[in-house]
Chains A and B, each alone.
Chain A
Amino acid sequence: MLKVDNLIVRYGPIEAVKGISFDINEGEIVSLLGPNGSGKTSTLNAIMGLVAAKGGSIKLAGEDIIGQGTAQIVRRGMTLSPEGRRVFPQLSVEKNLLLGAMTQKDWRNSPVLDRLYQRFPILKERRTQLAGTLSGGEQQMLAVARALMSRPRVLLLDEPSLGLAPKIVQENFDLIRQLRTEGLTILLVEQNVFQSLAVSDRVYVLENGRIAASGNSAEMMNSDLVRNSYLGIAAPGAA
């Protein structure tokens, strides 16, 4: 469904992503793990065309999407729920959602909106409230719902549980499982290694802009690299 080949992202002299390759099959959940600064967010931003890739190729459903522009990529059925939620704080909840559907012809009366309101009644309840006044968990819900408004086939999730209470984090992972049963292909970037291994089919571990390991999530849960770096002897308080 999504195939990234030898992707390079550079900010001035700094190479953030140094030629990584990975792929995601239709209906799969794939996790991208790695410490801060390892190039996860840069990879997602390059896939969406928000930062320019300096080399490599990105194919969505077999078609090359590098240089197509973010709007076109969203229209082709892939979108991102960004790190830090990034809802439009001074716009109402409903306007945030409508903006998510802006690539659709029927953005103003999208049938998706009613379905999302059924799924997230709290957003319906707060539809006229400014998004900036929502709690962190509600903003995360809104960010995902806003991404779903564009009817994506591939959803990129960047740190959906960052800074949220454990109960909300659990709800987030439940939502990710639900979305998969609805046929969505998901690329997940998470700090919560254990949970993302549990939810995903396969995993790629990034370190310093390179893929350090990859494999089936169940196997990775037992691999030394992941156990040592993320699950086992991580220093207390380390992300």
Chain B
Amino acid sequence: MELFIQYAVNALSLGGIYALIALGLAIVFSIFGFINFAHGELLTIFGYVLFYAMSAGIPFIPAVAIGLAASMLVAMLMERVAFRPMRGANPMTLLVTSFAISGALQVIFQIGFGAQPKPLPMPGYLSGAFTIGGIYVGAAQIISIVVVTVLIVALNVFLNRTKFGLALLASAQDFDIARLMGIRANAIYSVAFAISGLLAGVAAILWISLRGSVDPTMGFNPLVKAFVATIVGGMGSLTGAVAGGFFLGVMEVALQIALPPDYLIFRDPIILSTLIAFLLFRPAGLIPAARSPVK
């Protein structure tokens, strides 16, 4: 029983990270109709900014705030510089653009910061562990579960109770008509990317607390998992992205336990096969997004 709860905590905390990244992808997808493959680089940017801020002697919490501001800013810049000029282009074109941004940023990181991983030790309260009733849990995992829950609730409140949130929901359902309501398209584009940047930054803190270092390609692996999560959950559906993220977290931890050590290398191939199975048999995902209105 204790062991089961321990695994459940692991699955929830890992799934929560995937859910945050998938949410960021889904928010952009719901409005623009493409998956932003440069989203992973937002995690990396957060990591480097945090690393250099802490190296400069800034304490952890303010350094995290600076990092979050940076990942939001870079996300908004991406939209302004690369995606906005392509407005109205085929989503496939935007997708390829996002690959290009991702590749370019990875090279810039390598040249600027070196290919070697930079160790980024987390403060004691994030890297420590404690036991509750005989169950051993990492502080990072508990914090991760709490942060993900708070963020998802906050996002929900933002989307349903604020003007910008409502405008964002409407834009995701029917962009032309949202403009007809007097919603300014540019503002929506910026806000959507800013939120995806914020979610990427928060996911990055939790991701880095699991791995303990920053390197130029660190964003790639979680991005692929989150991409699978958005497909499994249902492209463009925010609830689906969260469900897909947790689904993936549970699956990964379950495979980790179930597979004999020699076969552990098959963990990710099995996960990607699930993706193919979903695409074949349930392409709309677990919780399909609203069907786009007939134009």
| B111 close to chain A: CB less than 8 A | no
Smallest beta-carbon distance B75→chain A, Å: 24
A17 close to chain B: CB less than 8 A: no
Beta-carbon contact of B183 and A71 below 8 Å: yes
Distance of A150 Cα from B181 Cα, bound (Å): 8
B166 at the binding interface (Cβ < 8 Å): yes
- B contact face: mostly helix, strand, loop, or mixed: helix
> Which residues of A (36-68) have their CB < 8 Å from a CB of B?
48, 50
Chain A interface residue bracket vs B: 20 to 34
Q: Could you say which of B167, B170, B180, B183 contacts A80, with CB atoms under 8 Å apart?
A: B180
Interface segment out of the listed A88-96, A203-211, A220-228, A229-237: A88-96
Determine which of B183, B291, B293 lies in contact with A102 in the assembled complex, contact meaning CB atoms within 8 Å. Answer: B183
Nearest Cβ on chain B to A98's Cβ, whole angstroms: 7
Cβ of B180 and Cβ of A88 under 8 Å apart? no
CB pair A102 B180 closer than 8 Å = no
B179 at the interface (CB under 8 A from A): yes
- CB of B97 within 8 A of chain A? no
Contact of B176 among A50, A71, A132, A150 (CB under 8 A): A50
Contact yes or no, B166 A95, CB < 8 A: yes
**Contact of B182 with A90 in the complex, beta carbons under 8 Å:** no
Q: B170, B180, B290: which contacts A70 (Cβ < 8 A)?
A: B180
Q: Are A89 and B173 in contact (CB under 8 A)?
A: yes
A192 to B180: give the CA distance in the assembly, Å: 25
Query: A177: which B residues are within 8 A, CB to CB?
Result: none
| A89 B180 Cβ-Cβ under 8 A | no
Shortest 8 CB-CB distances between A and B: which pairs?
A103-B182, A90-B290, A74-B182, A71-B182, A70-B179, A99-B181, A88-B173, A86-B177
Residues of A within 8 A of B (CB): 48, 50, 69-71, 74-75, 79-80, 82, 84, 86, 88-91, 95, 98-100, 102-103, 107-108, 132, 146, 150
